[in-house]
Amino acid sequence: MLDRQEPLEARRATLTRVSATDRDCGPGGSLDEVVVTYFPAPHSYTGEHVVEISAHGSPVVLQAIVASAMGAGARLARPGEFTLRAFLNGKRDLVQAEAVADLVAAATPLQARVAFDQLEGTLTGRISLAYSLITEAQWHLSRRVFIRFNQEIGLTSRATDWEPQLGILITLPTRRSSRK
């Protein structure tokens, strides 16, 4: 399909020609001069090996290039498939994957900006921060309840004590700067 003998270099745009395989241009005839970029896994949007072909915009030429690629074993991607693969390969989280759909469907600049912020992980970062704060608060609350319980039943609550009969290790945080 590509008129070149040398392998493509990773993440480097390469100018080459695409050969025709369909009957309209005749086998072996060149279709277009294109720019081809190879992204080896995991350094692509999907996390898989990807080859991008940038061609001139003629619908006839583009259809012929697609037909040539399919003749070489490629298939058309389903809508959202690249983002699904990126999600499955850990390149995008669920919020970011949904943001791609929102960005594609955006009808106003504001919708596009909000979707792009989600795509960049803004919402994911806020959720992660909230989760960390809630987890820390839960830990401090659990620690206080556990120490009070131990005091009520006559067990010690020093930071280095194990309570094997309860299966719990007590760890006290280092003191932060005191705020009053």
Model pLDDT, residue 169: 47
How many whole angstroms separate alpha carbon 92 and alpha carbon 126?
16
Position 173 scores a pLDDT of 53
User: Do 75 and 133 belong together in one domain?
Assistant: no
In a domain, 104, yes or no: no
Q: Which pLDDT does position 11 carry in this prediction?
A: 95
- Per-residue pLDDT reduced to its tens digit, 9-67: 999 999 999 987 655 555 567 889 999 999 999 999 999 999 999 999 899 999 999 99
Domain end call among 28, 49, 82: 82
Number of other residues whose CB lies within 10 A of the CB of residue 92: 24
Task: Note down the domain range covering 20.
Answer: 14-82
Both 77 and 128 in a single domain?
Answer: no
Note if the bond before 42 is cis, omega within 30 degrees.
Answer: yes
Tell which wins on pLDDT, 145 or 98: 98
Amino acid identity of residue 155, one-letter, is L
User: Nearest-CA neighbor of 10 among 66, 52, 56?
Assistant: 52
| Domain identity same for 19 and 70 | yes
- Regarding predicted confidence, which is higher, 71 or 44? 44
Pairing mode of beta strands 50-54, 30-39: antiparallel
Judge whether 135 lies within some domain.
Answer: yes
Q: Note the pLDDT tens digit of each residue in 99-145.
A: 999 999 999 999 999 899 888 877 777 788 888 888 888 887 777 77
pLDDT score at 131: 85
On whether residue 29 sits in a domain, the answer given is yes
Q: Give the domain CATH number at 32.
A: 3.30.1360.120
Would you state the structure tokens that stand for residue 133, as one six-digit string?
Answer: 């704060």
Question: Rounded CA gap, 160 and 157, in Å?
Answer: 8
Does residue 27 lie in a domain region?
yes
Residue 64 inside a domain? The answer is yes
The last residue of one of the domains, among 82, 106, 139, is 82
Amino acid symbol at 177: S
Q: Is the pLDDT of residue 180 over 50?
A: no
Residue 118 resides in a domain: no
**Total tally of structural domains belonging to the chain:** 2
Residue with tokens 């690249």: 82
Residue 96 lies in a domain: no
The per-residue pLDDT for range 142-173, each reduced to its tens digit, is 777 776 666 666 665 555 454 444 444 444 45
Last residue of a domain, one of 53, 82, 111: 82
- pLDDT for 54 equals 94
**Of residues 103, 79, 86, the one with CA closest to residue 44:** 86
